[in-house]
Amino acid sequence: MKKTSTRLADGRELIYYDLRDDTVRDAVDRRPLDRTVTTSGIRRDVLLGDAVAVASHRQGRTYHPPADECPLCPTRGGRLSEIPDSSYDVVVFENRFPSLAGDSGRCEVVCFTSDHDASFADLSAGQARLVLDAWTDRTSELSHLPAVEQVFCFENRGPEIGVTLGHPHGQIYAYPFTTPRTALMLRSLAAHKEATGGENLFDAVLERERADERVVLEGEHWVAFVPYAAHWPYEVHLYPKRRVPDLLALDEAARTEFPQVYLELLRRFDRIFGEGEPPTPYVAAWHQAPFGALEEFDGVTRDDFALHLELFTVRRTSGKLKFLAGSESGMSVFINDVPPERAAERLREVASS
């Protein structure tokens, strides 16, 4: 992997990640852009104990542009975009309309390929590995920023999820706090460790899931399963078999196998609703241990946390979406219409031949 860092016309950082070491990236951003002005701030909810990012400048972000005006495609001819070069393998750049900025953290965009009509599932194993390497590198770099406590790499796919740019891409949020969902995991981890005299809850869950009927696919170094208490109609968790706290700690064997396992998982997601259906909308979310202090979670260290990816779709059946209505949105109690065992069975049925 070759990494080349440059600056866009308004001062934002852009980084090329290339498969070839001899690739030269010297294209200049020719757009007449002013410096970006953001109004992001963090507000604490004292009743719930969580945080809300307020970012009013995002109201003006690019919204469903036509394909020939996509800002994530390479710059070609007279059409200038966020990526100054005429082609790229993987690109990461600071979001022009960030939810988090400055003392409130940082937001980045990850473009998986220059092919506007592709998806992550269309990538080759080499391209998918390059994305993994980019995620890892950005996790390392962002973790050293003074304001950052947790790094979250994720992909939103499909207009049903709220995606406003059709080009295959993901995002990275660097939060200035430990996110509420991670805090819940850490509290459960601490309570289980104390109650069992030191047993790791992630290890116990993974052992139980591997022994059950909800395993979707398994490699030498990774295992994917529908969790016992899945929140979404089709939800899969992907774990490395060797517990590590973050992407940085994955060994070479796990990195090498990841593309085959993950690409197969994504391709099965595109087949679960049958032929002729639109691409399956999904969220793919990496859970990594926070880089900040963990004193509030008694007896828990970063090494107790287990890196894993959660992949889920908001589609519950052909032509129907799972909406977060009263119980989910009002009380955070999910109601799942698809039994996890049936979801796992279906995802095994649509395996590649």
Q: pLDDT of 264-300, one tens digit each?
A: 999 999 999 988 788 999 999 999 999 988 988 999 9
Helix-then-strand count for the chain, H and E? 6, 15
Assess whether pLDDT exceeds 80 at residue 216.
Answer: yes
Q: pLDDT of 50-86, one tens digit each?
A: 999 998 777 666 767 888 899 999 999 889 999 999 9
What pLDDT shows up at residue 67? Answer: 81
Annotate 171-208 with DSSP letters as a single string.
Answer: EEEEESS--HHHHHHHHHHHHHHHHHTS--HHHHHHHH
What pLDDT shows up at residue 60? Answer: 64
Residue 67 burial class via C-beta count within 10 angstroms: exposed 0-12, middle 13-18, buried 19 and up: exposed
User: Alpha-carbon distance 89 to 246, whole Å?
Assistant: 24
Annotate 132-167 with DSSP letters as a single string.
Answer: HHHHHHHHHHHHTSTT-SEEEEEEEESTTTT----S
What pLDDT shows up at residue 325? Answer: 95
Question: pTM surpassing 0.85?
Answer: yes
User: Alpha-carbon distance 93 to 11, whole Å?
Assistant: 11
User: Alpha-carbon distance 352 to 44, whole Å?
Assistant: 47
| Residues acting as catalytic residues | 169
Query: Residue 195 to residues 228, 254, 283, 297: CA-CA distances in angstroms?
Result: 21, 31, 33, 14
Assess whether pLDDT exceeds 80 at residue 126.
Answer: yes
- Mean pLDDT within 119-144: 98
Assess whether pLDDT exceeds 80 at residue 177.
Answer: yes
pLDDT band at 210 (very low <50, low <70, confident <90, very high): very high
Please indicate whether residue 87 or residue 38 has the higher confidence score (pLDDT): 87
Query: Residue 121 to residues 118, 124, 163, 264: CA-CA distances in angstroms?
Result: 8, 8, 17, 8
- What's the whole-number average pLDDT of the chain? 95
- Mean pLDDT within 100-114: 95
What pLDDT shows up at residue 353? Answer: 57
Q: What is the DSSP letter of 83?
A: B
User: Alpha-carbon distance 48 to 70, whole Å?
Assistant: 39
User: Alpha-carbon distance 162 to 106, whole Å?
Assistant: 20
- Percent of the residues in the chain that have a pLDDT greater than 90, as a whole number: 88
251: its two tokens: 């060994």
